[in-house]
Structure 1
Amino acid sequence: MKAPQAQKIAKELNSHDHIRIDHYYWMNDRENPDVIEYLNQENDFTEHTLTHTKGLQKTLYDEMVGRIKQTDMSVPYFYHGYYYFARYEEGKEYPIYSRKKDSLDNDEEIMLDVNELAKDQSYYQIGAYEVSPNNKLLAYAEDTVSRRIYDIRFKNLETGEILEDKLANNGTSLAWSNDNEHIFYTIKDETLRTAKIYRHKLGTDQKNDVLIFEENDDTFYTFVYQSKSRNYIVIGSTSTMTSEYQILDANNPLGEFQIIQPRTRGLEYGIYDYKDELFILTNHEAKNFRLMKTPISNPSLENWTEVLAHRENVLLEDLDIFENFMVLSERENGLTQLRVISSDNHVDYYIPFEEEVFMASSSLNPEYNTDIFRFGYGSLTTPSSVFDFDMKTKDRTLLKQQEVVGGYDPKEYHAERKYVTTRDGVKVPLSLVYKKSLKADSNDLLLYGYGSYGSSMDPYFSSARLSLLDRGFVFAIAHIRGGEEMGREWYENGKLHNKMNTFNDFIDCGDFLISEGYTTKEKLYAMGGSAGGMLMGVIVNERPELFNGVVAQVPFVDCVTTMLDDSIPLTTGEYDEWGNPNEKEYYETILSYSPYDNIKEHDYPAMLVTSGLHDSQVQYWEPTKWVAKLRDHNTGSKPILLMTNMETGHSGASGRFESFKEIALEYAFLIDLTNK
């Protein structure tokens, strides 16, 4: 079976007196039956090419699913008189969201059985849910298409009745007022940007809802939530570089919102209410952020006073406030530390962790009046764990650790941290994990990366990954610039005009792994998704000989054309990340690395590219066009494959087992290339 040959129809694209010819622009039309036919042909070709791996795919899938404890339950958390939890039943794809009043010994109240809600849907996801202050009503957001467009539905938790109220075209943020009659929610515009906040009164038609706030700057999106104290409704507006918040007394839903600090370009802040004050996490004169506070009665910037000063080597990421303590999430040298400070400042210490490479984060902590702080912990070898930590006694209690069914011994695996000196002298952290029984000579190695939006790639545990490690793979995460692992400057040095640092860092990590004997060019593989898929696109253009195989998941690869089209979801909000190509300097910068625009005559590595027809983040036509053009310029014989999920979007399948079929396909593709 030969690879599909995409029809070429020349489309001239002219920007800044520079002409590009796009032969596959016609694919930008999901209503065109020729496009659907072509996607099906690509899927058939991938199925045919990988037919010989079907047995391996099934083996991998069975292994991955077999490690999951099928009848399972999350750690319950206490909030406003109830213990809340999610549980799974054997063989079922979706969670059951439940609660118990006052005590875990009391009867279970099922709020949502998602298996029932999803039974007639090819895709189903609960994006968020919120219980009313009187504990009697449930608002929940559901997506049945995988475009991240949600309908908000309401359920009477006392009678089980689904109310007639239905709010369409939403994001996932929503907030009840304390009168239990009003709810604030977001509406998406035609580009899927959350642009408006409405107030809905139960029992009325959505068309009568009141517009509370409209975000007219198309580089911002807006959201709404109720504060931890339950005293305020908070509306936030944020872009890549700027934020603004306004609050309303939750007891007065018909009142006027008060702006905390009007937006100023480059000023970012987050708010946390505590009694009659607001604590503010901000980058005001502090690149790595600092902690300030201000009276709620007069909260503008001139009244902010410093609580914790800025530090050059520590990024202040998050804050949890309790009656007697606060817990700060601080990132230093690529790892997050949890710092506990008492309200009287007499106590100040870090929760100790022993592993060289780990990840720690605040978990659900919805209650103020407690000295117990809940946090999550894990590492490349330690399964995800949930702890309760007594901030007075410093005692910690392990509540739950992810169970790996069939047995798992972390002592059989080794994790380590290396630092790669890149071409411009910067040291990039590199996290690795492998089985201790591996021989010292070169091994198959999968290098993973992302490096965008200031999103840090923490060294997380994956039971599915064991299927690679147990077959002799080394797994590595390159903590490249564009993330925030090493602080805010790490992010800024991997965006806009500095974006090539992201790609060069990843390539230099690959070279390091070869030079240090971890692997060879014939055994080195790469993987990344979304903006990490862009990373994959650049590295195969820059150094196609460095990798034996590449998996690009829902890759953002047609960067110039997409960023010039502000009708495409999310484009305008990305200008501060990539630059606005309507300005010539940014057009030229993005064009210099855009994977689709820089395809050359190359012997490209074997590639598996995945996509989702309903993807709201990266439109399906980007990977589709990219694969067609890659094949047209490929001088070698290695396969370049496209697999489009015709029923899902950016995040893939919605069920907890279905997603493993996609991972099994990717792993089988890689393992097959090793000739094992």
Structure 2
Amino acid sequence: MSQPTPPITRKADGSDPYAWLQARDSDEVLEHLRAENAWLDTQLADQADVREALFEEIRSRILETDLSLPSPWGPWLYYSRTTAGDEYARHYRAPRPADGSLNVDPAQEQLLLDPNELANGGFLSLGAFSVSPDHQRLAYSLDTQGDETYELFVKDLASGEIQSLPFEECSGSMTWANDSATLFFSVHDDTHRPYQLYRHRLGTQGAALVFEETDGRFFLHCYRTSSERQLVLHVNSKTTAEAWVLDAGQPEGAFACVAERREGHDYDVDHGQLNGAWAWFIRTNRDGLNFALYQCPEGNTAPREADWRSLVAHDPQVMLDGFSLNHQAYVLSLREAGLPIVQVYPAGGEAYRVQLPDAAYSLYVQDTLEFAGDHMRLRYEALNRPGQVRQLSLASGEQVVLKQTPVLGPFNPDDYLSERLWATAPDGTQVPVSLVRRRDRIGEPTPLYLYGYGAYGESLDPWFSHARLSLLDRGVAFAIAHVRGGGELGEAWYQAGKQANKHNSFSDFIACAQHLINAGITASDRLVISGGSAGGLLIGAVLNQRPELFAAGIAEVPFVDTLNTMLDPELPLTVTEYDEWGNPQEPEVYTRIKAYAPYENVQPQAYPHLLVVAGYNDSRVAYWEAAKWVARLRELKTDDRLLLLKTELGAGHGGMSGRYQGLRDVALEYSFVFKVLNLV
């Protein structure tokens, strides 16, 4: 039943009057969340036709039936296929052609997994999808709730028989040893942290505990190295790492430690070849914030730190984000002046950088393919350019575009101008802004959608979106504020926006918004801001600080009840987050977080229109953070602008799982934007 007024949120006694919303699964809480959903439906009822038209418009640009670019491995080509009307891609393989081509023979293909059948109309997230080294079995894991707890399965690819592994609280990871019969998997503790690694041999009962991490700040993860000859157990917090290695051919053996953890030392390892000899590669920050690369010849034990030899020295101007290995080259993923760079060191040749056509873009090594191959694949895209898979010849540097994401209907990337701007923060720091808009709409202030994140050192590189064309073609510009706390300008940029420096993320975002206004690109009454998770905290904080600067805000799974969450070590992930935000059990940290936490700092003032989205099964940012924040906003705000909360009762941190469900979520968000900006 529709409601004529917003839901009234009961206030309880105590310092946190809306803490009762944390009583998960109680009738009162569920009734309240459903009432909020009903209020949203009522307020956006006049947009129903717009939403449906947007959904169909976005859908019409997407090639719904398509084949992914096949990846060669051993005797097979592995690939996926999307089909019109299906929420999920199906996974296949076909015999590898003798001529070395990537041509798939549908008559000989094998269906490996059909998530559409497994989902049966409900939520489904595929975790591991790992074929055994002998290509006889498929290990995969499924989350059917959205809480990122997975069930484990092994499928015999010859018979089709599926075995469910009887283990609980699994994180979803599954790693094969080289005997194709032994699997390593990890499980969560009570705070949803992967903390134990187990070894299971198919055909036997139970599993053997291999490693247990008792420090609540550390996660563990197991993976195969590029060479396929070694296994790595990587244990890390936000600031510190420790790696253990094991011969993949000896899964019953014991992992050996590479470098014992010491606070602040972050490193990761891989195994490959250097000048034709087997070697370890170690990326480490022991020489400086931006990391350096070391190598160590393969020996009978782990590559102990005393034996590391410098390969690429630390550069205070260039961040070493990561590296990829092939028998013929090692490839560095760098960040310089806010842009991703790929630099190749071919065996016996001169190092070179991959050349690219755009001023602002996203670039990463998508697939190293087979270790003994001659090529790697790069993923490249820009705000105005659909994603491309480029084949890079490691020896020559030659690039070939193997596949470009199609855009159906009228589309010309040159109709859109992609730019890199720089805003000046209050302390004088230059903050990059990526901007895209239609060329024929330049010259007057235009509606603009500004997105931000700024946490965990994550780099928010420009990306292409089919859906975003529905904004751009209606004259709405799109921008990304690359604020401190992200990793766009290296490790120092990240550290300048975390813990005691978190205020820089907020002032940077406000400076970016102000720059776009001062430059005449947009105006306050046309500016919509958006962010999710830690980006939702960003949105909540700047709305409290400068609400008059924005017309509307969108906060998805927002981390807005920051102080209370960080005060509760029993909640999932809280202890692991101390390195990012600080531990508020310390008085100085408590004061600092309380000064910016969005929930605590809601003021009796006018706020912009606001759409808030939460996931009831979210194990990272609990649904009640959004619900409590909205309740306090509704209590204190002095305006009559829209304040809407949508809680996805069957989803988690990433929202609904199917591709069409995802498009409907975007259509809802965009119709909200059009409504509050009076564009339709």
TM range (shorter): over 0.9
Aligned partner (choices 391, 394, 398) of residue 391 of structure 1: 394
After superposing the two structures, state which structure 1 stretch, 470-479 or 406-415, moved more.
406-415
1:90-146 deviation digits (Å, cap 9, x = unpaired):
111111111122224441111001111111x52011112111121111110101000
Matches within 5 A, 1:515-530: 515-530=518-533
Question: What amino acid sits opposite 2:312 in the alignment?
Answer: L
What letter is aligned with 2:283? L
In 1: Cα distance, 2:196 partner to 2:505 partner: 34
Q: Which residue of 2 aligns with 1:5?
A: 8
1:32 to 23, 26, 33: 26
- Residue of structure 2 in register with 1:403 after alignment: 406
Structure 1 unmatched ranges of 5 or more? 12-20
Question: Where in structure 2 are the equivalents of 1:446-465 lying within 5 Å?
Answer: 446-465=449-468
CA displacement at 1:538 relative to structure 2: 0.2
1:512 and 1:583 map into 2 onto residues whose CA distance is: 37
5 Å matches for 1:240-639?
Answer: 240-275=238-273, 276-297=278-299, 299-344=303-348, 346-639=349-642
Q: Deviations over 1:513-569 (max 9, x none)?
A: 111101111111100000000001001100010001000011000011101111111
Q: Distance in 2 between matches of 1:661 and 1:644?
A: 14
Q: CA RMSD in A?
A: 1.1
- What letter is aligned with 2:293? L
Residue 81 of structure 1, CA deviation: 2.7
Answer yes or no: is the 8 Å Cα contact 1:544–1:605 preserved in 2.
yes
Q: Any idea what the Cα deviations from partners look like across 1:420-454, whole Å, max 9, x if unmatched?
A: 11110000000000001104111101110000000
Look up the equivalent residue of 2:399 and give its one-letter code: R
- Matched-pair contact (CA < 8 Å) for 1:153–1:167: no
| 3-state secondary structure, aligned to 1:657 | helix
Give yes or no for the alignment of 1:182 onto 2:182. Answer: yes
Q: Which residue in the other structure is 2:53 paired with?
A: 59
- The separation in 1 between residues aligned to 2:374 and 2:657, in whole angstroms, is 36
* Letter of the 1:400 counterpart: K
Could you tell me how far 1:608 is from its partner in structure 2? Answer: 0.3
Q: Is the 8 A contact 1:248 1:256 kept in 2?
A: yes
The residue type paired with residue 270 of structure 1 is D
CA positional deviation for 1:622: 0.3
1 CA distance for matches of 2:407 and 2:284?
40
Q: Distance in 2 between matches of 1:211 and 1:250?
A: 17
- Can you list the C-alpha shifts for 1:146-190, whole angstroms capped at 9, x where unaligned? 001111111000011112434332113221112222100000111
**What TM-score results when the alignment is normalised by the length of structure 1?**
0.97
Partner of 2:218: 220
Which residue pairs with 1:115 in the alignment? 116
Matched residues in 2 for 1:520 and 1:82: separation?
55
Query: What letter matches 1:584 in structure 2?
Result: P
Give the superposition deviation at 1:596: 0.3
> Match for 1:42: what amino acid?
E
Secondary structure of 1:597 counterpart:
coil
Q: Which amino acid aligns with 1:39?
A: L
Deviation at 1:610, TM superposition (A): 0.3
Residue type of the alignment partner of 1:286: G
The farther-off stretch of 553-562 and 163-172 is 163-172
Q: Name the structure 2 match of 1:16.
A: none
Distance (Å, rounded) in 2 between the aligned partners of 1:449 and 1:311: 27
CA distance in 2, matches of 1:493, 1:362: 27
Q: Is the contact made by 1:124 and 1:654 (CA closer than 8 Å) also made in structure 2?
A: yes
The one-letter amino acid paired with 1:425 is: G
Report deviation, 1:37. Answer: 0.1
Q: For each residue in 1:347-381, what CA deviation from the matched residue of structure 2 results, as whole angstroms up to 9, or x when unmatched?
A: 11111112111111101114121221210100001
Distance 1:164 1:547 in 2: 51
| CA offset digits 1:33-60 (Å, max 9, x no partner) | 1000000000000100111111111111
Identity rate, percent: 39
How has the CA–CA distance of structure 1 residues 273 and 565 changed in structure 2, closer, same or farther, with 3 Å as cutoff?
same
Aligned to 1:134: 134
- Partner residue in 2 for 1:157: 157
1:124 is the counterpart of 2:118: no
The whole-number CA distance in structure 2 between the counterparts of 1:602 and 1:568 is: 32
Is 293-302 or 279-288 further displaced after alignment? Answer: 293-302
Contact 2:289/2:492 (<8 A) preserved: yes
* CA distance, structure 2, for counterparts of residue 132 and residue 55 of structure 1: 48
State the one-letter code of the partner of 1:280: I
Instruction: Determine the C-alpha separation between the residues in 2 that align with 1:155 and 1:194.
Output: 24
1:44 to 33, 38, 42: 38
Distance 1:581 1:640 in 2: 30
- Write the letter of the residue equivalent to 1:182: T
State the alpha-carbon separation in 2 of the partners of residues 636 and 453 from structure 1: 34
The amino acid of 2:333's aligned partner reads S
- Cα distance in 2 for residues equivalent to 1:396 and 1:661: 36
In the other structure, the counterpart of 1:17 is none
Distance 2:53 2:282 in 1: 51
SS at match of 1:40: helix
**Runs of 4+ residues over 4 Å off in structure 1:** none
CA contact (8 A) 1:153 1:166 kept: no
Which amino acid is the alignment partner of residue 252 of structure 2?
Answer: L
Instruction: Give the Å deviation of 1:655.
Output: 0.6
Corresponding residue SS for 2:514? helix
Task: Return the alpha-carbon distance in structure 2 between the equivalents of residues 427 and 523 of structure 1.
Answer: 24
**Are 2:64 and 1:70 aligned?**
yes
Give 3-state SS (helix, strand or coil) of 2:441's partner.
Answer: coil
Equivalent AA in structure 2 for residue 148 of structure 1: E
Name the TM-score, length of structure 2 as normaliser.
0.96
Question: What is the distance in 1 between the residues matched to 2:593 and 2:113?
Answer: 45
Q: Cα gap change, 1:369/1:439 in structure 2, threshold over 3 Å: closer, same or farther?
A: closer
Distance 2:359 2:166 in 1: 49
Q: Is the 8 A contact 1:165 1:204 kept in 2?
A: no
Deviations 1:559-618 (A, max 9, x none): 111011111111111000000111111111111100001111110111000001101110
Distance 2:313 2:396 in 1: 27
Structure 1 residues 293-302 or 137-146, which shifts more?
293-302
Paired with 1:209 and 1:656, the residues of 2 have a C-alpha distance of 36
Partner SS state of residue 640, structure 2? coil
2:100 alignment partner in structure 1: none
One-letter identity of the residue aligned with 1:306: S
Unaligned residue ranges in structure 2 (runs of 5+): 98-102
| Contact 2:47/2:675, CA 8 A, preserved across alignment | yes
